[in-house]
Chain A
Amino acid sequence: MAAKRVDPAANAAAFIDQDDIHEPAHDRNLWAARMKRDAAAKAIPEWEDLRTIASLIKEHTLTHLDKYLEQFEANAIKRGAKVYWARDAAEHNQHVWNILNERKISSIIKSKSMLQEECGMTQFLETRGITVTESDLGERIQQLDNQPPSHIVMPAIHKTAADIAQIFSKAIGTDPNNTDPHYLNEAMRQDARKRFLEAGAGMTGANFAIAETGTFVVCTNEGNADIGAAVPRVHIASIGIEKILPKVEDLGVFIRLLSRSALGTLATQYTSHFSGPRKGGELHIIITDNGRSKRLGMDDFWHSLKCIRCGACMNTCPVYRRSGGLSYGATYSGPIGIILDPTFDESKYSELPYHSTLCGSCTEVCPVKIDISDQILRWRKVMAEKKFLPISRRLAFSAAGKIFERPNLFHGAETAASAALKITPHFLLYNRALNPWGRHRELPHFAKQTFREWFIQNKQQNQEDKQQP
């Protein structure tokens, strides 16, 4: 049975309509991150060169991916890691389960990994009796609220401190009326500490994997990935095949770009390099495809594999900021989500490419220069060709086609639209159900004359002028 189609506009409407607090706070916080990003970028004279170099390194690696994957694998094994290959989510999850089951491990602590989200790993393990605890604070909040992360680097950014106080009071018995972030953080630190010490394995993702040394790099601000890797005896890392970089020196470029793009900070507090198991520990690396090799073969879309998951495109996106990440109904939200999600399920995510103004801001901030807004437009074409367009829009577009075919009809419609907008400006374009993220935005005033009327009048005027001696 086909998965139900996600309706991001309706979801966004629900987010905006819940009250007057959430959406403005969300918008404000993400825009602040965007402004900090701009300041951090401006402070580096070679910023634009770095973006170009990072883009080329990624394109070079992806166009020679087989070679670099072999190199990474050989070096990781040489360093003492055990390497597994997973074609899809099911194989990935099975590897994790086998590793845990063979060692009779019943509880794990994990740091943030979009790949593990993609694989639905937590649910898979929980149905097999494994206790899974998210160690990133934002991810833990989302886990306790039974929601996926709404943002790649700020998983609970759509929630207020008051929401979190409610969730923590139910889960760990904090005071529901105390919304002080310091108090709430301290309570969760105490609760998580026990779980770190009880866990039989720590799981991480990876931001980068270095072919020449078999190293992978994990970036966090909380140090949670490092505790998970340093305390339990077993460390399992899930790495997508597109995470490879050729050389250690490449990190000089990518680490400078990553956190500046994400949050406008100079780096994450912890940038950790794992090359083989720690003393007395085991290291398992699961290299996972899950649709990436197929994406590599898509002429129009393979550049999306360059993504380093910084979230800059989300922070800058006017639609994302007003909609909230959960409205995309997918693992990846925001502009990058629009171009990644349909590669997993075209029908389910066929509406996502329309959840954009095509303003191009995402493309401008992307640290690896992915042509995100162009890809969004190309996905619209794919969806139209496959007749995934919702009925309302198919009718609107075909009506537009008929009008443009017949100029006289267009002139009539132009004048009529101008007249209609004077009366009900919000109804036509910023319709509640159609474009909820456009609400509160006023339309520009229509000119009293249409261009055609102005042109004809001026033409007559000009002719009259010329006729005068």
Chain B
Amino acid sequence: MNPREQIFDAVRNHLPAEKIDYPQIPVFQKTITELLPAFEERLLDAGATFFLPKDLREAQFLLEQQFGEASVICSATPDIKGNRDIRQVKNPHELADVDVGVIRARFGVAENGMVWLTEEDLVVNALGFLSQHLVILLKPTELVADMYDAYVKVSLEDTAYGCFMMGPSATADIGAVLVHGAQGARSLSVYLV
């Protein structure tokens, strides 16, 4: 018997005699009714910021205002122009010098301020993690109330990688003090547009 068969044998021989049924997950009463204000509040709790540009033109202007010092801006969305073409990136290492990464998220979660990003949205996954700062575009209407609704929407069959991102990278590993920018993005700004 190979190790795989041996493990299955061991598991089957040790299965508890009493079989437990899969529980019914009830539909819980929603506690959040106004999705956008709740989402905005949770973004701030998670250490993110948000902006409400009127349109994409204003978003582009805002980006230039917010990151005037940035030398490399790489946008994975056609809605915002950067100066590094992500479609030409062959190897994730080429993104090591990105100052600002721009990505359009599929939807946000009002319960906690998460945004859902897939491999298709990131184009190159490393953009979400090597960039020093992130700007996430999100339609303010694309919100769900909580994680139950969120997991109905994720469609894991359709992507090799999906991430719920909740604000910038964070750690409290030194003296239990919260610090942003541990390994991933130092800041995360959501443009609701």
Q: Which residues of A contact B (CB under 8 A)?
A: 25, 29, 32, 44-46, 49, 52-53, 56-57, 59-60, 62-66, 69-70, 79-80, 85-87, 91, 135-138, 141, 154-157, 160-161, 164, 179, 181-182, 184-186, 189, 192-193, 196-197, 210, 213, 215, 221-224, 226-227, 229-231, 241, 246, 248-249, 251-253, 255-256, 263, 266-279, 287, 289, 293-294, 296-297, 299, 302
CA A422 – CA B8 in complex, angstroms?
A: 61
Q: Is the CB of B130 within 8 A of A227?
A: yes
B177 proximity list for chain A (CB < 8 A): 161, 181
Contact with A along B4-29 (1 / 0, CB 8 A): 10111011111110111111011011
CA A404 – CA B39 in complex, angstroms?
A: 63
Q: Is the CB of B164 within 8 A of A271?
A: yes
Cβ of B156 within 8 Å of any chain A Cβ, yes or no, is: yes
Q: Is the CB of B16 within 8 A of A246?
A: no
Cβ of B52 within 8 Å of any chain A Cβ, yes or no, is: no
Q: Is the CB of A53 within 8 A of B170?
A: no
**Residue picked from A44, A79, A270, most chain B C-beta under 10 Å:** A270
A210 proximity list for chain B (CB < 8 A): 156
B112 proximity list for chain A (CB < 8 A): 266-267
Q: Offer 7 A-B interface pairs, CB within 8 angstroms, sorted by A.
A: A137-B183, A193-B96, A197-B96, A231-B129, A268-B166, A279-B119, A297-B16
Q: Which of B56-64, B70-78, B146-154 contacts A (4 or more CB under 8 A)?
A: B146-154
Cβ of B169 within 8 Å of any chain A Cβ, yes or no, is: yes
Q: Is the CB of B182 within 8 A of A223?
A: yes
Q: Is the CB of B166 within 8 A of A266?
A: yes
Q: Identify which of B21, B161, B184 contacts A224 (C-beta below 8 A).
A: B184
Q: Is the CB of B125 within 8 A of A248?
A: no
Also in contact, A87 and B42, with CB within 8 A (given A57-B23, A189-B183, A270-B184):
no
Q: Is the CB of B147 within 8 A of A60?
A: no
Min C-beta distance of A176 to chain B, whole Å? 14
Q: Is the CB of A164 within 8 A of B174?
A: yes
Q: Is the CB of A296 within 8 A of B14?
A: yes
Also in contact, A266 and B184, with CB within 8 A (given A66-B11, A227-B126):
no
Identify the closest chain A residue to B176 (Cβ). A29
Can you name 12 extra interface pairs (CB under 8 A) apart from A66-B15, A189-B182?
Answer: A154-B173, A161-B174, A185-B174, A189-B181, A227-B184, A249-B152, A266-B112, A269-B184, A272-B164, A273-B154, A275-B159, A293-B11
CA A256 – CA B151 in complex, angstroms?
A: 12
CA A386 – CA B62 in complex, angstroms?
A: 70
Q: Which residues of B contact A (CB under 8 A)?
A: 2-4, 6-8, 10-16, 18-23, 25-26, 28-29, 31, 42, 45-46, 92-93, 96, 111-114, 119, 124-126, 128-130, 146-148, 150-152, 154, 156-157, 159-177, 179, 181-185
Identify the closest chain B residue to A33 (Cβ). B176
Q: Is the CB of A275 within 8 A of B160?
A: yes
Min C-beta distance of B91 to chain A, whole Å? 8
Q: Identify which of B2, B31, B152, B170 contacts A269 (C-beta below 8 A).
A: B170
**Residue picked from A229, A241, A275, most chain B C-beta under 10 Å:** A275
Q: Is the CB of A270 within 8 A of B161?
A: no
Min C-beta distance of B99 to chain A, whole Å? 14
Also in contact, A181 and B125, with CB within 8 A (given A266-B112, A270-B163, A278-B160):
no
Q: Is the CB of A66 within 8 A of B22?
A: no
B171 proximity list for chain A (CB < 8 A): 137-138, 185, 221-222
Q: Is the CB of A32 within 8 A of B176?
A: yes
Q: Is the CB of B8 within 8 A of A137?
A: no
Q: Is the CB of A293 within 8 A of B10?
A: yes
Min C-beta distance of B144 to chain A, whole Å? 11
Min C-beta distance of B22 to chain A, whole Å? 5
Also in contact, A79 and B163, with CB within 8 A (given A223-B182, A269-B169):
no
Q: Is the CB of A230 within 8 A of B156?
A: no
A277 proximity list for chain B (CB < 8 A): 160
Q: Is the CB of B179 within 8 A of A87?
A: no
B130 proximity list for chain A (CB < 8 A): 227, 230-231
Q: Is the CB of A231 within 8 A of B12?
A: no
Identify the closest chain A residue to B113 (Cβ). A266
Also in contact, A249 and B151, with CB within 8 A (given A182-B179, A223-B182, A267-B114):
yes
Q: Identify which of A60, A87, A154 contacts B23 (C-beta below 8 A).
A: A60
Q: Is the CB of B16 within 8 A of A185?
A: no
Also in contact, A63 and B19, with CB within 8 A (given A137-B173, A222-B183, A252-B150):
yes
CA A136 – CA B19 in complex, angstroms?
A: 38
Q: Identify which of B11, B111, B151, B183 contacts A296 (C-beta below 8 A).
A: B11
Q: Is the CB of B128 within 8 A of A230?
A: yes
**Residue picked from A32, A179, A185, most chain B C-beta under 10 Å:** A185
Q: Is the CB of B183 within 8 A of A85?
A: no
